[in-house]
Homo-oligomer: A and B are copies of this chain.
Amino acid sequence: MISKATLGRLPIYLKYLRSVNGSVTEISATTLSRGLNLGEVQVRKDLAAVCGSGRPKIGYKTKELIQSIENILSEKEPKEAVIIGAGKLGMALLDYTGFSEYGLRVIKAFDIDPTKCNEDVLPMNELHSYCLMHQIELGILAVKPESAQEAVNEMVKSGIRAIWSFSSQTPEVPQGVIVQYENLALSLAHLHNRMKNEAI
């Protein structure tokens, strides 16, 4: 599986490769690493994970490399995700524009509170039919802790197989459903810790 760190660099490679495509039909990890000012070993590993080992001394066909990266980033067919919970965080995520770089589209939020519902926020009881209709497999959990398990149950029933959770709760899920926790507080705490250590 492609590591998170490699995945994070793919949009950078893709942008560069597209800019040279046409003028350069073949490109090596060395050339790419120089062009982007990245470590060669790292670039070599990244490209190997994406597109195999390349031809010795020549490298990769630029077009093939672009296609491989596009496939991984679901460029041609963006993957859609929904948010459960239209509080401040949920709405901020719905508004966040960075997802498209990774072939992802956060298309709707769902909430049990009818006063929050509008064109972008649908009532929770429509989650099931919406997910089936749009074949949604990715869900974002942004509800209050006390509602987390119930929301997760609804998500699973609706066919969601991967949950990105901003909740501090660890809900139970059936086997085959992945929950990935996003602990924003821990990220800031880690930065604080780094700062304390730099000062010593």
**Residues of A that sit less than 8 Å from B by CB:** 1-2, 4, 7-8, 72-74, 79, 81, 87-89, 91-93, 95-96, 98-99, 101-104, 106, 137-138, 140, 161-162, 164, 168, 176, 178, 180, 182-195, 197-198
Q: Is the interface of A mostly helix, strand, loop or mixed?
A: helix
B92–A190 contact, CB under 8 A? Answer: no
Task: Tell me the nearest residue of chain B to A163, going by C-beta.
Answer: B191
B88–A95 contact, CB under 8 A? Answer: yes
Q: How long is the Cα–Cα vector from A87 to B190 in the complex, in angstroms?
A: 24
Q: How long is the Cα–Cα vector from A151 to B47 in the complex, in angstroms?
A: 35
CB distance from A81 to the nearest CB of B (A): 7
A7–B187 contact, CB under 8 A? Answer: no
CB distance from A169 to the nearest CB of B (A): 11
A101–B190 contact, CB under 8 A? Answer: no
CB distance from A1 to the nearest CB of B (A): 5
A186–B102 contact, CB under 8 A? Answer: yes
Hey, which chain B residues are within 8 Å of A79, CB to CB? 192
Q: How long is the Cα–Cα vector from A182 to B198 in the complex, in angstroms?
A: 20
Hey, which chain B residues are within 8 Å of A137, CB to CB? 195
Instruction: Return 24 A-B CB contacts under 8 Å, by A number.
Output: A1-B193, A4-B186, A7-B193, A8-B183, A8-B186, A72-B193, A87-B95, A88-B88, A89-B95, A92-B92, A93-B184, A98-B168, A98-B183, A98-B184, A99-B184, A99-B189, A102-B185, A138-B192, A161-B198, A162-B192, A176-B198, A178-B194, A178-B198, A180-B190
